[in-house]
Amino acid sequence: MKAEGHPDYHLITVKMTDGTEYQTRSTWGKEGDTMSLEIDPLSHPAWTGGRQQASEGGRVAQFNKRFGGLSLKK
């Protein structure tokens, strides 16, 4: 097997949105780099119980919200 066929696997630091950090091995960046997350389980609505896209309704709900008061009657 060729040696250059595998990516470099090294230690990086992951910084969560609340400032906590942990080390893990990854192919991202270089040895010792810090990955700062913008969204993680501490801030994402799917885990925090915040507002979700599905509760806003689909295309039909948006149409009814916009044009629901219109009528064809004269």
Instruction: Round the average pLDDT of the chain to a whole number and report it.
Output: 83
Model pTM score: 0.56
Please answer whether residues 42 and 48 qualify as being in contact, where contact means their C-beta atoms are separated by less than 8 angstroms. Answer: yes
Q: Is the dihedral of CA 38, 42, 46, 48 positive or negative?
A: negative
**40-63 pLDDT, tens digit each:** 888 887 777 766 555 567 788 888
pLDDT at 74 (0 to 100): 63
Average pLDDT over residues 35-44: 87
pLDDT band at 16 (very low <50, low <70, confident <90, very high): very high
